[in-house]
Amino acid sequence: MTRETMSYDAIVVGSGISGGWAAKELCERGLRTLVLEAGGPIDARDFVEHVQPYEMPFRGRGDRKALERDHPIQRECYACDEVAHKFFVNDNENPYTTPNEAPFRWFRGRQVGGRSITWNRQVYRWSDLDFEANAKDGHGNDWPIRYADIAPWYTYVERFIGVTGAKEGLAQLPDGDFLPPMAMTIVEHHAREKLRTAFGGERVMTIGRAAVLTTNHNGRLACHYCGPCHRGCVTHSYFNSIGSTLPAARNTGKLTLRPHSVVAEVLYDPARDRARGVRIIDARTLQEMEFEARIVFLCASAIESTRILLNSRSTRFPDGLGNSSGTLGRYLMDHHYGSGAHGTMPGFADKRTVGHRPNGTYIARFRNVKSQRADFLRGYGMHGRSGRVGWERGASLPGYGTSFKQSLIHDLGEWNLAVEGWGETLPHENNRVTLDPDVKDKWGIPAARIDVRWRDNERAMDKDMAASAAEMLEAAGCKDVHAYVSTHPPGHCVHEMGGARMSRTPKDGVLNGRNQAWDAKNLFITDGACMASSACQNPSITYMALTARAAAHAVAEMKRGEL
């Protein structure tokens, strides 16, 4: 064991979406900050978005044998492709367990930047419809915060990262501080108008709100529309931490970034009733080390941060630091998603798309907004996409020979339109993560044991997603409409959240309304673990806003001598 003699003002565990924000805010507020990242460093030369299909042996289908060997779970994520698999963990080194009857997909990236490299970049504000939901229907605990608490922080984050979107004036999906919207396709324009008239203005299809630049912004270049953002971006045109928050932190001169640092536990000092620092294992040398700081931010991702806390056992906290309430690890959620419909849109044969828009459309939540349905609580938003398939339709198109070939070259096929739901999952105490008593990862840290199941409310909502999607596509004028209910297990949406929820009182949760642990007030958890409900919106911007808010609060308390 090596104890680092130099101590820091702050330690941040994780360097992804939340950790990057913690680093930036704490450094800019003058704190000497150590960021610990479990994975290795990367830079723009590791990005592979411009690799063409003919530069890949399997032409984009992936090296199946290698993926099955090293990424048997990760490969199920669409972004773990033939070249971007390097941004995903090796499943053999990073095991987790589930009950046989309750599969869970845990897609992870361990590298500087974390999953901010591969994320899908969709960002939507929550509203009070979301923050009040637990209190109103009694599932989960009441959030200690409301929209007014976070709204200015959403704006703060949006201005820094750059968010493209269109204002719609919807109470349930508040507008943000947007860069110019990306263009809708001609078919999406058509569908938007049809839906507006068919559903009395209740169902609004808007262009996706994404952390992708449509103009040069804060020293980063506008998007060049090459397409596969999950492989990285040499121009840093979409938000990831290595292109924006971490450089901002570095510019202060206060940042120390230590890659290959696998955090095993948060150390607790019973004499001061505070977190003392963290114990890590160097990923390469397997050497144990300790680092100390006045405050600790856990931003390792919902399940990782929860796992670290469960593993932080002491005489005072035998069941894990932060677990005085017994809620640590419980109320884990993900979005149940992918149920919807697709169809073809007749006409528009004289139009096509040019450029690869890294963004789709979004239909704001319309269920249980003004009135309450009998079949399920809460609601869902719907992501959509449209386009013409082009030559790829040839594999299932009858025909061969010259005319077949010419049609694949000169025609693009029909326009397709699809919409799919992303649904809120009710917080449930038995959806939980614990430590597996037997399995350990490569570094000897107990593996997470995850037991999350879809329940009746999610299943009822899935059916409605498929039905409402089909109804909307038909209203938009689509033909060959095919509705489907998703079979994805929990975790597949990569929106896992909860496990160390915020609460109004110490007996109801792990964190107060400022992401501060009830058990140790200098310990903050600001990633997805803090969520008391899931809403239906893509969650990352909410983590960013809560992280920035918590950092400001932490530094203010430090300056008042309270930490």
Partner 1 sequence: MSPSAASTWRWGALVQRRDFLLAAGAVAALSFVPGVAQDAWNRVATTYPPAGGLSEAHLALVSAISDAIIPRTDTPGATDVGVPAWINVVVAGYYTDSQRAAFLDGLAAIDALAQGTAGAPFAAMSSDRRERVMSILDRPNAFERFVLRLENSHMAARIVSRSAIERMLAGLAQEARAYAWLKGLVVHGYFTSERVQKEVLRTVIIPGSFDGAAPMPLGYLRRGV
Sites for partner 1 among residues 80-109 (CB under 8 A): 83, 86
- Cα angle 445-451-456, degrees, rounded to a multiple of 5: 165
Contacts of 499 (CB under 8 A, 6+ apart): 302, 303, 305, 306, 328, 329, 330, 331, 332, 432, 433, 529
DSSP 248: H
E strand residue ranges, 398-516: 415-423, 432-440, 446-451, 479-484
**Shortest distance, CB of residue 103 to partner 1, whole angstroms?**
12
Tell me how many residues contact partner 1 (CB under 8 A).
72
Can you tell me which of 156, 178, 199, 391 binds partner 1, judged by CB under 8 A? Answer: 391
**Shortest distance, CB of residue 37 to partner 1, whole angstroms?**
21
Residue 333's nearest CA partner among 446, 210, 430, 463 is 430
Can you tell me which of 100, 285, 315, 396 binds partner 1, judged by CB under 8 A? Answer: 396
Measured from the CB atom, the residue of 421 and 498 that comes closer to partner 1 is 421
Sites for partner 1 among residues 225-284 (CB under 8 A): 225-226, 234-235
- Count CB atoms within 10 A of the CB of residue 65: 9
**Shortest distance, CB of residue 41 to partner 1, whole angstroms?**
15
**Shortest distance, CB of residue 169 to partner 1, whole angstroms?**
23
**Shortest distance, CB of residue 383 to partner 1, whole angstroms?**
12
Measured from the CB atom, the residue of 26 and 89 that comes closer to partner 1 is 89
**Residue 464: strand, helix, or coil:** helix
Residue 189 and residue 187: Cα distance in Å, rounded?
A: 5
Measured from the CB atom, the residue of 271 and 395 that comes closer to partner 1 is 395
| Residues comprising the chain, all counted | 563
**Shortest distance, CB of residue 183 to partner 1, whole angstroms?**
4
Sites for partner 1 among residues 323-382 (CB under 8 A): 338, 349-357
- Lay out the sheet containing 205-207: strands in order across: 205-207, 361-363, 380-388, 415-423, 336-345, 479-484
Strands 205-207 and 361-363, bridge-based pairing: antiparallel
**Shortest distance, CB of residue 283 to partner 1, whole angstroms?**
20
Can you tell me which of 2, 404, 439, 459 binds partner 1, judged by CB under 8 A? Answer: 404
- Class of residue 108 by CB neighbours under 10 A (exposed 0-12, middle 13-18, buried 19+): buried
Measured from the CB atom, the residue of 53 and 99 that comes closer to partner 1 is 53
Sites for partner 1 among residues 408-427 (CB under 8 A): 408-412, 420
Sites for partner 1 among residues 473-492 (CB under 8 A): 484, 486-488
Can you tell me which of 90, 406, 430, 505 binds partner 1, judged by CB under 8 A? Answer: 406
Tokens of 169: 């004036």
Measured from the CB atom, the residue of 117 and 523 that comes closer to partner 1 is 117
Residue 191's nearest CA partner among 347, 337, 336, 367 is 347
**Shortest distance, CB of residue 284 to partner 1, whole angstroms?**
20
Measured from the CB atom, the residue of 197 and 396 that comes closer to partner 1 is 396
Sites for partner 1 among residues 496-555 (CB under 8 A): none
Site string for partner 1, 43-72 (x = CB under 8 A): -xxxxx-xxxxxxxxxxxx-xxx-------
- Count CB atoms within 10 A of the CB of residue 266: 28
Can you tell me which of 253, 401, 437, 561 binds partner 1, judged by CB under 8 A? Answer: 401
Sites for partner 1 among residues 182-201 (CB under 8 A): 182-186, 188-189
- Cα angle 208-480-199, degrees, rounded to a multiple of 5: 50
Residue 340's nearest CA partner among 253, 461, 445, 448 is 461
Measured from the CB atom, the residue of 2 and 251 that comes closer to partner 1 is 251
Tell me the window of 40-48, 113-121, 306-314, 319-327 that interacts with partner 1 (CB under 8 A).
40-48
